[in-house]
Structure 1
Amino acid sequence: MFDYLIVGAGLAGCTLAERLANERGAQVLLVEKRSHIAGNAYDCYDDKGVLIHRYGAHLFHTNDRDVFLYLSRFTDWHHYLHRVLTWVDGQLLPFPINLDTLNQLYSLSLTADTMREFLNSRREQREAVNSEDVIVSQVGRELYEKFFDRYTRKQWGIPASDLEPEVCARIPVRFNRDGRYFADTYQGIPKQGYTRMVERMIDHPKIKLMLNTDFAEIKDVIPFRRLIFTGPIDEYFGYALGRLPYRSLRFEFEQVHQEYFQPACVVNYPNEFDFTRIIEIKHATGQRCPVTTIVREYPAGEGEPYYPVPARKNRERYEQYAQAAAQLSDVYFVGRLGQYRYLNMDQVVREALNLYERLGP
């Protein structure tokens, strides 16, 4: 009899397994349908010896000191400040939009004050009902179309006008030359990778791990007292209230026989290309080797669920599932798929730690 059956060996599931085993002495069974731990943060070495992020770039950043200190128990950090470039009008431009972006794009010499005047002359007065409103009210229609419109349509499969405002509201406009993508206090990459960090988290005699295992196949066979589910909440309920939409990704890896392929870890392509971005993770990991590996990301409507689609109608359907979940005894949902929320890695860990505190003895 296990005290807890945890479905999903990503950051949420492994954080809870670690806390429950180490702090409460609980017997935990951790079940994962994939062949590896660490969820979408999984990293590994390819056949050229390049450390790759198998499911897209995972760049840790947080202002949550407790989360940072918690994960630091299991890893040292490679300090890395993430920078993104965007291919617009035949140029690689800093993104999010800042002073350098506009000066380079328009061959101007704006200052912080004149940048405000420049954008004030272009932006539209709008109530921020959706993500298009957020951007157009900040930078105007032309910059919205150059940097956001097509990228958003590719990424989410719907226009920004159908997305909740917080999707694009997370992307700032900077009236200085700060080229960092994130402004968080703590930023970096686990020195030996995410997979090694997670291995250390669940290295405990009271945690049993089963890979390549479907929860549906063992739920009526293995006895347990409490269930923590980090998979899609609609899947748990057999889609009884309808399917929740998710966006998936297809990854196209390419090995390049040169030290670096591009000048930044991530280059966005908000234009006619089918892919949304090219990632060269070597910039983030700090690995030194004579070859490199890049990956092009192609958004898809079908496949492994990566992103809940943050639209109003989807949120309303999720709330129906959340109400059904609240009626269950000793069953808990957590994580990006379990809570149907676009959560960053630090937020996933925070949600898991918060759930741990609520579980009681």
Structure 2
Amino acid sequence: MFDWLIVGAGFAGSVLAERIASQRNESVLLIDRRSHIGGNAYDCYNEAGVLIHRYGPHIFHTNAQAIVDYLSQFTAWRSYEHRVLSSVDGKLLPIPINLDTINKLYDLDLTSEQLEQFFASRREKVAEIRTAEDVVVSTVGRELYEKFFRGYTRKQWGVDPSQLAKSVTARVPTRTDHDDRYFGDTFQKMPAGGYTRMFHRMLDNPQIKIMLQTDYREIRDSIPFRRMIFTGPLDEYFDWRLGRLPYRSLRFEHVTLDREQFQPVAVVNYPQTEDYTRITEYKHLTGQQSRKTSLTYEYPTDIGDPYYPVPRAENEALYKRYEALAAECPDVWFVGRLATYRYYNMDQVVGQALATFARIQKSLPSRTVTQIPAQREAAE
């Protein structure tokens, strides 16, 4: 009899497994239908010895010191600030849009003050900002929206930005200075030894048993457990009884080249051309030295593992109906991007998992823990 069955060994499931095992001294069976832990953040060395992210680039960034402190128990960090270029009109330009983006695109020499006037002259008045399109055209105008956002977003989500919630493009800032960092968070670093190594340290506890290539529906009636944490798609838990929640998937093409570098930054976006949305070159992320380099081409699709909840009003309405069903499930906690139908960053998932554990602590009496392992020292 396990105290807990946790479905999904990504950030949400792994953080909760670690907290329950180390702080409550309770037994956990952590399962995942894939052949590895770490969820979409899984990284590994390929046949060329290059450390790649199997499911596309994962760059850790946060403004929450408590989340940094928690994860730092299991990893040291490598400083890295993410920069992305966008292939527009035959030029590689910084994205998010900044002063250099506009000056290079139009062969101008604007100052920051002049750029604000430039944007002001192009903005469209939108009575009520509701969609992803509204956000962009009301900030930088129609032309820049068409060049940088519309094509990329249509490929990424399979629908026009005018049909998506404003949250999709509200995540991307617009700057009037030279700041070309993709994120503005105070903490931007990569796990020094990779994500998978961090997950292994997180789950290194005798109270945690891991079963991979395991579907929870195949074992839920044969392995006894007291409580469950579910991090998979919410509609799947209920056998799709209200209909399927739309999730967007990705297909990855991994390529290794016999050269040291392919592109000037880790990620280049392709909003105007190509079937793929972006190319990632991992050595920029990891700092690894190698005579070869490895790339990933990303092709969004509706077929395959679910990655992103599709933010549309009708999908949110269906999710709310499933959420009402979830509220009626005793001793089951639903956590993570798929189970709560939210487009969370990694740090937000960690924060949600830690907040869930705090609620568990408050609502459930725990065993007396005779000895809680001391905080692990960060590895090399």
Indicate yes or no: 2:18 matched with 1:26. Answer: no
- Indicate the residue corresponding to 1:124 in structure 2: 124
Amino acid of the structure 2 residue aligned with 1:161: S
2:180 partner SS = coil
Paired with 2:242 and 2:42, the residues of 1 have a C-alpha distance of: 31
Aligned to 2:335: 334
* 1:4 and 2:34 aligned: no
Residue 162 (structure 2) pairs with residue 169 (structure 1): no
Corresponding position of 1:16: 16
TM-score scaled to structure 1, two decimals?
0.99
Matched, 1:245 2:249: no
State the SS of the aligned residue for 1:4: strand
Structure 1 counterpart of 2:345: 344
CA distance, structure 1, for counterparts of residue 59 and residue 164 of structure 2: 24
Structure-to-structure mapping, 1:190-339, within 5 angstroms = 190-339=191-340
Normalising by structure 2, we get a TM-score of 0.94
- Once the two structures are TM-superposed, the CA of residue 188 in structure 1 deviates from its matched residue by 1.0
In structure 2, give the amino acid aligned to 1:76. A
The Cα of 1:2 is off from its aligned counterpart by 0.8
Number of residue equivalences: 361
Q: Measure, in 2, the Cα distance between the counterparts of 1:129 and 1:335.
A: 25
Give how far 1:296 is off.
0.5
Within-5 A mapping of 1:104-143 = 104-126=104-126, 127-143=128-144
Counterpart CA distance in 2 for 1:33 and 1:55 is 15
Deviation at 1:281, TM superposition (A): 1.3
Once the two structures are TM-superposed, the CA of residue 272 in structure 1 deviates from its matched residue by 2.7
| In structure 1, C-alpha distance between the alignment counterparts of 2:118 and 2:360, rounded to whole Å | 53
Q: Which ranges in structure 1 are unaligned for 5 or more consecutive residues?
A: none
Mapping for residues 18-167 of structure 1, pairs under 5 Å: 18-126=18-126, 127-167=128-168
**In the alignment, what sits opposite 1:185?**
186
Q: Distance in 1 between matches of 2:91 and 2:151?
A: 17
CA distance in 1, matches of 2:244, 2:273: 30
Amino acid in structure 2 at the alignment position of 1:174: R
Aligned-partner Cα distance in 2 for 1:285–1:346: 19
Q: Tell me how far apart the structure 2 counterparts of residues 245 and 260 of structure 1 sit (CA, whole Å).
A: 37
Shift of 1:44: 0.2
Unpaired runs of 5+ residues, structure 2, are 366-380
Q: CA deviation at 1:302?
A: 1.1
CA deviation string 1:9-65 (max 9, x = no partner): 101000000000000101100011110000000000000000000000000000011
Q: Which amino acid is the alignment partner of residue 272 of structure 1?
A: T
Task: In structure 2, give the amino acid aligned to 1:237.
Answer: F
Aligned residue type for 1:223: P
Q: Secondary structure at the match of 1:138?
A: coil
Amino acid at match of 2:69: L
Secondary structure of 1:325's counterpart equals helix
Report the identity percentage.
Answer: 60
1:193 is displaced (CA, Å) by: 0.5
Distance 1:332 1:273 in 2: 41
Question: What is the CA deviation profile of residues 226-260 of structure 1, one whole-angstrom value per residue up to 9, with x for unaligned ones?
Answer: 00000000000000011000110000111111111
Deviations 1:181-214 (A, max 9, x none): 0010111111110000000000000000001111
CA distance in 2, matches of 1:303, 1:206: 33
Q: CA deviation at 1:332?
A: 0.8
Does the residue aligned with 2:13 lie in a helix, a strand or coil?
helix
Q: Which secondary structure does the structure 1 equivalent of 2:139 belong to?
A: helix
Counterparts of 2:46 and 2:303 in 1: how far apart (Å)?
Answer: 26
The one-letter amino acid paired with 2:98 is: N
Residue 376 (structure 2) aligns with: none
For residues 228 and 44 of structure 1, the distance between their equivalents in structure 2, rounded to whole angstroms, comes to: 27
Distance 1:272 1:53 in 2: 24
Q: Distance in 2 between matches of 1:229 and 1:123?
A: 44
Counterpart residue identity of residue 57, structure 1: P
- Mapped partners of 1:295, 1:86: distance in 2: 16
CA RMSD, Structure 1 to Structure 2 (Å): 0.6
Q: 1:263 and 1:305 mapped to 2: Cα distance?
A: 31
Q: What is the deviation of 1:166?
A: 1.2
Any idea what the Cα deviations from partners look like across 1:126-185, whole Å, max 9, x if unmatched? 121101000000000000000000100000001111111111011000010000000101
Shift in Å at residue 74 of structure 1? 0.1
> In 2, Cα distance between the equivalents of 1:94 and 1:31?
41
Q: Which amino acid aligns with 1:185?
A: T
Residue identity opposite 1:288 in structure 2: Q
Letter in 1 for 2:5: L
